[in-house]
Every structure is written in C-alpha cells, then in structure tokens.
Amino acid sequence: MSTTQPNSYCVPCERVDLGRNENIPQLSVMLSEASMMTDPAAMMSHFGPWISKRSPRDAIVSVSRRGLKDGQYKFTRVMGPALSDPQGERPRRDPWSTWDSIPIHEGGLVWELICTSEPKLLNHADFTQDENLSKALGDRASELHSVAVIPTYENGETINWALVFHTDPEWSDLDSFEAGFLDLNMMGTATRNLVSRKKVEELNAELEKQFQQMGQIQRALTPASNPSLEGYSLASSYKPSQHAGGDFFDYFQFPDGRLGVIIADVAGHGAAAATVMAMISAAIRSFGFHHEDEETAANPTLVAQFVNKILYTASLPSMFATAFLCVLDPRTGTVDWIRCGHNPPRIRGVDGSIRTLDNPGTLPLGITLDLPPVSLSSTLAPGETLVLYTDGITEAARPADNESGFEMFGEDRMDAALTKCSGQPQCVIDTLTTAVREFTGSDIGKDDQTIVVVRHNHPDDPK
C-alpha cells in the first residue's frame, strides 16, 4: 500500500490500472526473467512467443553472412508450423556452437534479398523457384507468398537477417513489420551480449585453469621446506598476490657446508612475472651444473652476472628482476652477498636493534649487459637474524587522505615489528605478516609477499 505525505504541492491524483492492457504485465514478467538468463538459445526461445504475438508470421528463416564471402550465407534457424531445419533435424536452438557444421549456400533469391542492408517487403513471390529456400521451407514453400526482410544490426553492419514469411500474397501490415523490426533487433542485441558473455566466461575459465597450473609449477620451483643447518634456524613465507607471481627464493647447499640463499622479485606480477621467475630459477641451477669448481659456484657476483646476461639477452620488454644473493659460511657466520636493486635486507641484533645491508649494489638483473662485480661481506653473529624480504611487504598499502590517496607499510613499520619479535625465524614471519595484515586490513596483498629468515642460534635460545 502506498501513502502520500501531505505537503503544499500535492494535488489529487489517480493511479492508472496498467492491467487493463494485458501485454504490460506479461512484458514485465518476460523482461524480468530475461534479465536473469545466461544461455543465448534460451534467450531466443524466451523472446520468441512475444515476437510472434506482436508480429504474427507463418514461417521465419534466420540468415547469416558472418565471416562469409559475398554471395554466401547460412540458414541458422528455420521456424514455423511443420518446419524443420534444412537437414531435416529439429529446429536449431544454438547455431553458435554448431556454426562450422551449417551448410553454406550461394546466390538465388535469398542473396538478392540480403545483398543490401535496407529492410524489404516482397509480395506475390514463388519461393519454390529458389532451390535453397524451397529446401529449407519444404512442403510449405508453395503455401507462402510474401516475405518481410528484416536486417538485424551489429556494430552498424547487417550481418544477420530474419526472413519473415506469410501466406497472404499481399501482406502489408506495416505496424506489424515495425514491431517485428524493433523486437528482432532488440532480441539480437540481447542474444549477442549473452554469446559474448559466454565466450568471456569460457575464456576466463580457461585462463583461470592456466593460472592455477602456473601457480602449481611456481610452487614446485620454490623450496618445499627449509634446509637444516647446524647452529642455525631458518624459516620462509611465500604469499603470491595471484595464482602465479614474480617473487622467488631458493637455497643451495654446497659440499663444504656453505649455504647459498637467493631472493628475487620480478617486475610486476601474474603470468609474465612467473615465467621470468622460472627463467631465473633455471639459470641459477644451470650455473651450478656448469661450474664444478665450488669457489666459482658459490660466488654471488658470478651467479648474478650469469643470470643477468640471460635475462638481458632474452630481450623481454620491461621485464627485469631485483635480487639479493648471499652465501653463508656456518662455521664463521660470514655472509658474502650482492644486492641487485633489491630491498636492503635487515639484520636484527641480539638486543633487538636493526642494521641494514644497504650498500648501493647494482642495477636490477636484466637492465644492462655488464653487471659490475659489487659484492660485500658481513658477519652474522650468534643471536643475530638475517631477514630477506620483497617489496610486497614494505609497499603493502591502505587508503589514506593524502595526495597519493594511499599509505604504504614502509620500512619503519617493518623495523618496528622486527624489534618487537624475539628474533626467532618463525616469530619474525608471524610478527611481520600480522603487522602487514593489520595495517592493510587484508590477508591478500596487491603484490607478492616473500620473507626468508636465517638466524645464527644463540646459546641462550630456547631449545
């Protein structure tokens, strides 16, 4: 029940009963149901009775020239009392999925009717004289004597037509012609939208499947577990923003006990970044296979130069990777490292203080052919923790009222979180990921988030 609020501009009014026109309630129901449809064939069947009611006909043949040469066409649907399609089967409901199997016809009266784009009306016609139409209409061809040629437009072009047949040889109901012209074009637009939507959904499903497969491959390239190293504890966390990302980390153990660690971040994320990440993984392993000399294989600079050359010569547009490579000697705590445009790692001291490995290093991998041999050495003392991370941590963002419209987590918040934790590897990861999640309000970042933690155990550490 509706109510009217009294005010100074109200005047007496009366609601008109639209039910006096039975078409309006029926149209409301039909359009409501059509708005929920996802199948193009069902959409056509749904609109069919309405169009038949608005513009009665004795038979209809749908014709299409899509992708065909001049003079060629296909009958995509044949409808009417006692009519079947040209192959003697039931009327086609879904010509889009069976397009390749539909026969191609040429010339004849049909081509004369559709060779120009304007609508037409032909009376006193003998459709038995056209071989293609006669076959399509079957026994009814001799009973039909008029045809309304209705184009349905697509991007301003006439690719499809409806040939609407009547038994009356002098049929000239132009009001019915007008209604059919409008209805068929509206139905064609709605159906094309559903066909496009269906194709997009199928493509998205295929892409989703491929992304999942790429994600599985990528996860197979990252370590399933952290290595055991006497006197040290390790932990890692890898959270891609999508099924496949551009972050990468790995461990390499050498016969003399040294441990190589790499963390890298390919520009961007998604499928392209994941592909480059796989290239980096393969290049590093290839370097080790081709250099039996352990001092060469365990040299971070030489490894970086090798990977850099592969990425650069691949000439991948706008694809590069930041990286931090280091080799830890567990006997001395010495860490030899090179930083290639990557975020400066942190070392958390015994007292919770933070120091940064922020030597300028080199450009990211893949930007220039010649990578300079800029490597350094640091020491990880007992009780100290090395924290490697990608920029998905520090650049995690949330909306903010400033010029950029967002605020990043940043290095200061990261260092504060590292100070609060115990320095144990899993505590570092839990503290950092919790801090980022609370800052952004989400478990899923817009960029990949990777953390690798190596701790030189202290005698006072819990056993």
On whether residue 319 sits in a domain, the answer given is yes
CATH code assigned at 256: 3.60.40.10
- 330's CB contacts (< 8 A; 6+ apart) are 229, 230, 231, 232, 257, 258, 259
Contact status, residue 132 vs residue 108, Cβ threshold 8 Å: yes
Q: Are residues 292 and 313 in the same domain?
A: yes
Q: Are residues 164 and 96 in the same domain?
A: yes
Residue that is last in its domain, among 170, 198, 226: 198
Q: Are residues 46 and 149 in the same domain?
A: yes
pLDDT given for residue 89 in this prediction: 37
Q: Are residues 215 and 192 in the same domain?
A: no
What pLDDT digit, counting tens, does each position of 158-170 carry?
989 999 999 999 9
CA distance linking residue 297 with residue 278, whole number of Å: 20
Q: Are residues 298 and 426 in the same domain?
A: yes
Place of tokens 């990043």: 408
Pairing of strands 346-348, 385-389: antiparallel
Residue that is last in its domain, among 198, 231, 256: 198
On whether residue 461 sits in a domain, the answer given is no
Q: Are residues 433 and 321 in the same domain?
A: yes
On whether residue 8 sits in a domain, the answer given is no
Contact status, residue 321 vs residue 265, Cβ threshold 8 Å: yes
pLDDT given for residue 265 in this prediction: 93
Phi, psi of 149 (to 5 degrees): -100, 110
Structure token pair of residue 318: 């706008």
For the chain, the domain total comes to 2
pTM more than 0.85? no
pLDDT given for residue 74 in this prediction: 95
pLDDT given for residue 426 in this prediction: 96
Q: What is the DSSP letter of 9?
A: T
Q: Are residues 216 and 187 in the same domain?
A: no
CATH code assigned at 40: 3.30.450.40
pLDDT given for residue 7 in this prediction: 54
On whether residue 67 sits in a domain, the answer given is yes
Residue that is last in its domain, among 198, 224, 252: 198
Q: Are residues 230 and 151 in the same domain?
A: no
pLDDT given for residue 276 in this prediction: 87
pLDDT under 50: residue ranges of the chain: 1-4, 84-92
pLDDT given for residue 85 in this prediction: 43
Structure token pair of residue 8: 């100074």
CA distance linking residue 216 with residue 210, whole number of Å: 10
CA distance linking residue 264 with residue 350, whole number of Å: 27
Pairing of strands 232-239, 334-340: unpaired
Q: Are residues 165 and 216 in the same domain?
A: no
Contact status, residue 94 vs residue 46, Cβ threshold 8 Å: no
Count of residues in the chain:
463
CA distance linking residue 37 with residue 48, whole number of Å: 14
Q: Are residues 284 and 377 in the same domain?
A: yes
Structure token pair of residue 139: 């026994």
On whether residue 304 sits in a domain, the answer given is yes
CA distance linking residue 450 with residue 392, whole number of Å: 7
Contact status, residue 73 vs residue 63, Cβ threshold 8 Å: yes
On whether residue 390 sits in a domain, the answer given is yes
Q: Are residues 352 and 268 in the same domain?
A: yes
On whether residue 176 sits in a domain, the answer given is yes
Structure token pair of residue 126: 């003998």
pLDDT given for residue 296 in this prediction: 84
Q: Which of 248, 303, 236 is nearest to 273 (CA)?
A: 248
Q: Are residues 315 and 433 in the same domain?
A: yes
Range of the domain at 172: 34-198
